[in-house]
Amino acid sequence: MKNKNKNIKRNKTDSRNKTDSRKQMLLRLMGEKKYAPMKEKELAMLLGVSKKDREELHEILISLLSEGRIEISKRGKYSLAEDDPGAASLSEQSPALIVGTFQKEKIHYGFVVPDDRKLTRDIFIPVERSMGAMDGHKVVVELTDTGRGVKSPEGRIIEILGHENDPGVDVLSIVRAYGLPDRFPEKVLKQAEKVPDEVDPSELKGRLDLRDVMMVTIDSEEAKDLDDAVSLSMEGDKYVLGVHIADVTHYVREGSAIDKEALKRGTSVYLADRVIPMLPHRLSNGICSLNGGVDRLALSCIMTFDGSGELIGHKIAKSVIRTNARMTYTDVNGIIEDNDKKLIKKYKELVPMFLLMDELAGILREKRRKRGAIDFDLKETKIVVGKGGEVVDIMPHERNRATMLIEDFMLAANETIAEHFFKKGIPFVYRVHEYPDAEKLEGLNMFIRSFGLSLKTRDDRVSPKEIRKLLEKVKGTPQEAVISSLALRSMQRAGYSTECTGHYGLACRYYCHFTSPIRRYPDLQIHRIIKESLDKKPKDERISHYRKALPAVASRSSSRERLAQEAERETDKLKKAEYMQDHIGEVFPGIISGVTDWGIYVELENTVEGLVHISRLPGDYYVFDPDRYELKGTRTGKRYVLGQEVNICVTGVDMSIRAVDFDLV
């Protein structure tokens, strides 16, 4: 009898522990950034809950509701009670403009279902405020009433983007949702029309004439805004590297309509099927593009390096240049890495310079490696889109010796400019990257100890050299992917600042963005400061002006960069999900990129990521260990960890949340 009572108590305890575990799993799921409020049925499908276990899920949700830990919307969608700002009725802090899909209900009204899944309530639209929208139209809504209690929020449609199935409407919806300005004001366009097509000879006065110096632009095949050119020669045993950047500020005057619009935008935005430029095309693709064989105004940073890559001298000057050729990464790589005979013959006059560039780039790269600069060698995505907006292909963006060569030279120029102006004591905009998050680094350190590895800390900080050494130790091992991923997640986000606090990832004291004034406002801003400071120190009133203006420029540019990155990621997710709709049932190799309570995320070679529901894992009860980033079967001991190689089959795509579902093969 005693044993029976013990068994009953043990079973009750096990059941309670199991319930608590599942409660925690649901709370973690709802706390994930990727989570959008879901109905009970949707949660059951996501978690792979069988029909016979649906009642248990219902009871757990009711229990969490009674505890006040989650909330349920009028539409029956569950989310965290406090941590999810979009869980209730739209609030006063909700965006004034919302993008969604119109659903016509009756003759006199309809509803708009927001694309943002965190906004859980549909928006009531009276017929007189619908602009004649039809079922399935993607629309932009202006809120007129956020709604209270059982009353729905109300709004009026201010723009119809097109039907949800029309080509390009999907990306346009993201453009509107993120408030990206895809049209220039009339005043800006009129000002751009006045910009000349060619350099006037009178503008060359006081400029360093470099038109006889051999130099080239090296970009992707599709690039049209060529804002940087490079040159390289030898003076004895010294390398003389020139980085020549389009003098955009000569045509974009401070305080002009074009300048104000550029500051408002902050950056160009590169979406899958379109570019939203910071400057009108007449400038970026015209007079400010360093096209071959024509005179262009530039700012040149000419650096002299010794054989070890040490900078022993530099010169910064307003210049006039004339590039010899418009080169592509593909062709330059064909020369320096593939030894392509046809290309070598075609560019025979330039080949010695390319080989010399490859040599210097290797020296500079090794110097950065020794000081501890971190190179995660991240896989970027290249999405090939057809004329109708359909995805033709998705692949990793190639990084070769030619692309790295340009990276090396741009980094050198950015560091040189930053140090030069820091030592001048002039107000400036720097590119900064803070030390990693201490708590995340400690988690990384705990994890790698199980592999006999560790990171040396000093005052609770880890030097970039330590991270670099760790990545080099695990290169080529089964643990490389998981450790690289965790190290990357511990990094802070880089940004702009008027304080020169250094760049952790590059392991350098001085860094700025100088090389892309066509597509980044901070570069445009510091070009003005550079030009004002070349001959003499700016006047006191200009120093005072910059001290007041630059903090806002840095803050604005950082926030616009983050917004652009989010829009770019969301568009990539959309196009990846769209692409995988045509590959349902196909098998692909992949690597586990995320481990959670509800399953594992797997990234394919083409960078598409999808979820394998925990219910689809081989029969067992799996427990999530957040310290080891693994799911482990309680009966079989089967483990799924970050970086593990698996084969998957594509089983489904949900375009409404841009999610792809996988099964393990």
Q: What is the pLDDT of residue 33?
A: 66
Q: Which domains does the chain possess?
A: 2-80 (1.10.10.10), 97-166 (2.40.50.700), 186-434+496-574 (no CATH), 438-491 (no CATH), 584-664 (2.40.50.140)
Q: What is the pLDDT of residue 94?
A: 57
- Judge residue 536's burial from the number of C-beta atoms within 10 Å of its C-beta, 0-12 exposed, 13-18 middle, 19 or more buried: exposed
Angle at 603 between CA 600 and CA 604, to 5 degrees: 135
Q: What are phi and psi of 407, to 5 degrees?
A: -55, -45
Q: What is the pLDDT of residue 9?
A: 40
- Res. 11 pLDDT band, cuts 50 70 90: very low
How far apart CA 453 and CA 336 sit, in angstroms, is 37
How far apart CA 157 and CA 609 sit, in angstroms, is 35
Q: What are phi and psi of 576, to 5 degrees?
A: -65, -45
How far apart CA 593 and CA 486 sit, in angstroms, is 10
Angle at 345 between CA 344 and CA 346, to 5 degrees: 95
- Res. 64 pLDDT band, cuts 50 70 90: confident
- Residues 441 and 565: beta-carbon distance below 8 Å: no
Residue owning tokens 């906004």: 119
117: which 2 tokens? Answer: 């899944």
Q: What is the pLDDT of residue 92?
A: 54
Beta strand residue intervals within 409-503, DSSP E? 430-432, 495-497
pLDDT at 189 over 80: yes
The string of DSSP letters for 117-134 reads TT--S-EEEEGGGSTT--
Alpha helix (H) ranges present in 450-520? 464-474, 480-489
Counting residues of the chain whose pLDDT is more than 70, the rounded percentage is: 94
- Residues 313 and 306: beta-carbon distance below 8 Å: no
Q: What is the pLDDT of residue 447?
A: 84
User: Could you give the count of Cα atoms lying within 13 Å of 533 in the half-sphere of its Cβ?
Assistant: 22
SS3 481: helix
Q: What is the pLDDT of residues 326-360, one digit of tens each?
A: 999 999 999 999 999 999 999 999 999 999 999 99
Q: What is the pLDDT of residue 20?
A: 66
Distance of CA 365 to the CA centre of its chain: 24
pLDDT at 14 over 60: no
Q: What is the pLDDT of residue 74?
A: 63
Give the residue from 282, 258, 277 showing the smallest Cα distance to 197. Answer: 282
- Judge residue 423's burial from the number of C-beta atoms within 10 Å of its C-beta, 0-12 exposed, 13-18 middle, 19 or more buried: exposed
- pLDDT averaged over the chain? 89
Q: 102 vs 140, 157, 507, CA distance in Å? A: 10, 9, 51
pLDDT at 496 over 80: yes
pLDDT at 190 over 70: yes
DSSP H/E element including 97: strand 97-106
pLDDT at 179 over 80: yes
- Residues 127 and 107: beta-carbon distance below 8 Å: yes
Mean pLDDT, range 47-68, rounded to an integer: 80
Can you state the angle between helices 540-580 and 521-533, rounded to 10 degrees? 150
Sign of CA dihedral 400, 218, 171, 180: positive
Q: What is the pLDDT of residue 470?
A: 93
Mean pLDDT, range 569-580, rounded to an integer: 94
Q: What is the pLDDT of residues 74-131, one digit of tens each?
A: 677 888 875 433 333 855 555 678 999 999 887 889 999 999 877 878 899 999 999 9
How far apart CA 219 and CA 222 sit, in angstroms, is 8
How far apart CA 626 and CA 440 sit, in angstroms, is 12
Residue owning tokens 């079922």: 135
Counting residues of the chain whose pLDDT is more than 90, the rounded percentage is: 64
SS3 394: strand
The string of DSSP letters for 326-385 reads EEEHHHHHHHHTS--HHHHHHTTTTHHHHHHHHHHHHHHHHHHHHHT-----PPPEEEEE
- Across 3-12, 335-344, 369-378, 608-617, least confident range: 3-12
Residue owning tokens 């869980």: 87
Residue owning tokens 């550079």: 530
Q: What is the pLDDT of residues 419-429, one digit of tens each?
A: 999 999 999 99
Sign of CA dihedral 73, 75, 76, 80: negative
Q: What is the pLDDT of residue 95?
A: 64
The string of DSSP letters for 314-330 reads EEEEEEEE--SEEEEHH
Q: What is the pLDDT of residue 379?
A: 73
Global pTM reads 0.85
- Across 132-136, 474-478, 488-492, 625-629, least confident range: 625-629
Q: What are phi and psi of 103, to 5 degrees?
A: -125, 115
Q: What is the pLDDT of residues 238-275, one digit of tens each?
A: 999 999 999 999 999 999 999 999 999 999 999 988 99
Give the residue from 88, 61, 93, 208 showing the smallest Cα distance to 148. Answer: 88
